[in-house]
Amino acid sequence: MVASAPLWQRLVVLAPAIVIGAGLVAGSFILLGKAFAQSVRESGHKRAILAGMVVLLAAVVVLTYLGVKLPRE
């Protein structure tokens, strides 16, 4: 029955689920971010961790720019 309804009615029905789902995802990212920040602060190798993150991000950007795609099985 929901599939045959107009788009705006489907969005009204699904709005609570979308809001709750977005809140759960945001809360998870906040919790994981705080835990990562705490572990970096307690680590004795802060510069090495941050340098590794920068290198990883640069590699992802360069490989994306070059159009490298991962093989699929």
Query: How many whole angstroms separate alpha carbon 69 and alpha carbon 12?
Result: 38
Give residue 23's domain range: 7-66
Q: Is residue 44 part of a domain?
A: yes
Give the mean pLDDT per block of 10 residues along the chain (73 residues): 75 91 97 94 89 95 92 82
Q: Say what the pLDDT of residue 25 is.
A: 98
- The overall pTM is greater than 0.85: no
Has residue 28 been placed in a domain? yes
Residue 2 counted as domain residue = no
Domain count, the chain: 1
Q: Does residue 43 fall inside a structural domain?
A: yes
Residue 73 lies in a domain: no
Q: What is the pLDDT of residue 28?
A: 98
The full DSSP string for 2-34 is -TTS-HHHHHHHHHHHHHHHHHHHHHHHHHHHH
47, part of any domain = yes
Kindly state whether residue 25 falls inside one of the protein's structural domains: yes
